Structure 1
Amino acid sequence: MPIDIDGMHWLNTPPMWEVNQGRLFVRSGDKTDFWQQTYYGFHRDNGHFLGAPRRGDFTAEVTFAGKYSDLYDQAGLMVRHDSRHWMKCGIEYTDGARHFSVVVTNGNSDWSAFRLEQEFDTMSARVTRNGDALFIQYRTDRVDEWRMARLAWFDPALGEVSVGPAFCSPQREGFEAEFLDFSLTDPVSRDIH
Structure 2
Amino acid sequence: MAFDIKNMTWLNPPPHSEMGPSGLVLRTADGTDFWQGTYYGFHHDNGHFLSCPRSGDFTAEISFTGDYQTLYDQAGLMIRYDEHHWMKCGIEYTDGLRHFSTVVTNGQSDWSAMALASDFEVMHVRVSRLGDALFVQYRLDGTGPWHMARLAYFPPQFDEVQVGPTACSPKRAGFEARFMSFSLTDPVSRDIH
Normalising TM by the smaller chain, what interval? over 0.9
Give the counterpart letter for 1:80 in structure 2. R
Determine what percentage of the aligned residue pairs are the same residue. Answer: 65
Query: What does residue 99 of structure 2 align with?
Result: 99
Name the residue aligned to 1:170: 170
Unaligned 5+ runs, structure 2: none
Which residue is 1:112 aligned to?
112
Aligned AA (1:180): M
Q: Size of the alignment, in residue pairs?
A: 193
Retained in 1: the 8 A contact 2:98–2:118? no
Unaligned segments of structure 1, at least 5 residues? none
Give the counterpart letter for 1:185 in structure 2. T
Residues 120 and 142, structure 1, Cα contact 8 Å, conserved in 2: no
Asked whether the equivalents of residues 80 and 161 of structure 1 are also in contact (C-alpha less than 8 Å), the reply is yes
Question: TM-score, length-normalised on structure 1?
Answer: 0.98
Post-superposition Cα deviations, 1:40-99, rounded to whole Å, max 9, x if no partner, equal: 000000000001100000000000000000000000000000000000000000000000
Q: Any conservation in 2 of the 1:4–1:22 contact (CA below 8 Å)?
A: no
Deviation at 1:119, TM superposition (A): 1.0
How much has 1:159 moved relative to structure 2? 2.3
- Counterpart CA distance in 2 for 1:43 and 1:32 is 11
Between the aligned partners of 2:4 and 2:117, the Cα distance in structure 1 is: 32
TM-score, normalised with respect to structure 2: 0.98
Change (3 A) 1:66 1:144: same
Runs of 4+ with deviation above 2 angstroms: none
Contact 1:88/1:102 (CA < 8 Å) preserved in 2? yes
SS at match of 1:80: strand
Root mean square deviation, CA, Å: 0.9
Q: 1:2 Cα deviation (Å)?
A: 2.1
